[in-house]
Amino acid sequence: MTEPARNTARRDQDVHFDSVGEGPPRYRARTDKPVQYLTVVDKESGAVLCYVWAGDEDDAAAWVPRDDAGGRALADGGHWHARLRSAKERGLLPSQALAELLASPESNRGRVLPDSLTTAPNSDAVKTLAASTESHPPMATPPQGNPYATAPRAGGPNPYAHPGQPYAHPGQPYAHPGHQGHPGYQGHPQPPTPACRFCGGSPAVPVTFRAHRGLLVVMTFRKLDGPMCGACGVAVYRALTTETLWQGWWSPFSLFLFTPFTLLHNLVVSRKVKKLQAPAPGQHGRQVDPGVPVHRRPLAYVGLVPVLWLLFMIVSGLTRNS
């Protein structure tokens, strides 16, 4: 379907809201459980600025500046700190917060390296990494969510070894995203069979789910895109659709245009992921919790309030004139 023209200027902007007042909930700043982390590089020099890690088991997430990155890393940290705080305030799991960073990867100075999602044994391992002069900590497990790291394990002929495949290029260390000297790094081309961006499982299809919030004159547009498997895709669909159902109605343009579009868009796109078979057990990492269907989420019914109010206004207007 074609998307109607809309206010693209505000799309993909960072979606975080300054919090005021009493202390908001925070993610824990340390965990002994396995974490996943993203690498943030300097947009100008390509040098690693910091790492942002997250672990769902302890509800923990934080950013860690690289010791050798100096003041630029610290200056950039406020951005990632604020994004994590905002995610926590919106009730996201740490892994979902990371997924948001991947979906909207830029700060003023830095950028999340695509495909840099990596597993570490705990948060201290990421700290050690940030303090070291090397680029990778001792690995507990192969990087999760990295489609290139899991595919060749299947036993059959390695599809990436085929001559002509970009992944077979000797200069392309695909399991280790280039951390240094890639200022223009634009990410890898799509692999032939995409793996789910959240759990690494397949089959997965590239999809984009959206959320919309309208608050009088302020509107925000958020999206989560990338290849998603049946399980994670449905989870994202439910989360963003429910969010839109209760936050989407509170400005005029939202009520008549953006929110109906967002809901319809998500509904159509959700069919793509619902058609997929769930990844076989053992072939995927931790998946996004699908939760309950949208119609069983009480917040979704907030959407009825503005609709009923609108009906009331129309009916009362008609009866007054008659």
Q: Is 198 in the site for Zn ion (CB under 5 A)?
A: yes
State in angstroms the smallest separation of the CB of 176 from Zn ion.
23
Q: What angle do CA 103, 104, 105 make, to 5 degrees?
A: 100
* The one among 15, 41, 50, 199 contacting Zn ion by CB under 5 A: 199
State in angstroms the smallest separation of the CB of 207 from Zn ion.
12
Give alpha helix (H) positions in 182-251: 230-247
Q: Which residue's structure tokens are 């008659």?
A: 322
Residue partners of 305: CB distance under 8 A and separation at least 6: 249
Cβ distance to Zn ion smaller for residue 198 or 221:
198
Q: Could you give the CA distance from residue 48 to residue 64 in angstroms, rounded to a whole number? A: 11
Residue partners of 36: CB distance under 8 A and separation at least 6: 53, 54, 55, 95, 98, 117, 118, 119, 120, 144, 145
State in angstroms the smallest separation of the CB of 208 from Zn ion.
15
Stretch that binds Zn ion, among 85-93, 244-252, 280-288, 292-300 (CB under 5 A): 280-288
State in angstroms the smallest separation of the CB of 195 from Zn ion.
8
Q: Is 263 in the site for Zn ion (CB under 5 A)?
A: no
Q: Could you give the CA distance from residue 300 to residue 19 in angstroms, rounded to a whole number? A: 24
Q: Is 196 in the site for Zn ion (CB under 5 A)?
A: yes
Stretch that binds Zn ion, among 30-38, 161-169, 200-208, 217-225 (CB under 5 A): 200-208
Cβ distance to Zn ion smaller for residue 38 or 199:
199
State in angstroms the smallest separation of the CB of 278 from Zn ion.
8
Q: Could you give the CA distance from residue 162 to residue 191 in angstroms, rounded to a whole number? A: 13
Residue partners of 29: CB distance under 8 A and separation at least 6: 60, 62, 123
In SS3 terms, 83-113 reads as HHHHHHHCCCCHHHHHHHHHHCCECCCEEEC
State in angstroms the smallest separation of the CB of 200 from Zn ion.
7
Q: Is 219 in the site for Zn ion (CB under 5 A)?
A: no
Binders of Zn ion in range 221-240 (CB under 5 A): 229, 232
Cβ distance to Zn ion smaller for residue 227 or 303:
227
Query: Residue 63 pairs with which residues in a beta bridge?
Result: 52
Cβ distance to Zn ion smaller for residue 254 or 287:
287
Stretch that binds Zn ion, among 23-31, 124-132, 216-224, 279-287 (CB under 5 A): 279-287
Cβ distance to Zn ion smaller for residue 73 or 232:
232
Burial of 156 (0-12, 13-18, 19+ CB in 10 A): exposed
Binders of Zn ion in range 7-66 (CB under 5 A): none
Q: Could you give the CA distance from residue 75 to residue 14 in angstroms, rounded to a whole number? A: 17
Binders of Zn ion in range 281-300 (CB under 5 A): 287
Which residues contact Zn ion by CB under 5 A? 196, 198-199, 201, 229, 232, 287
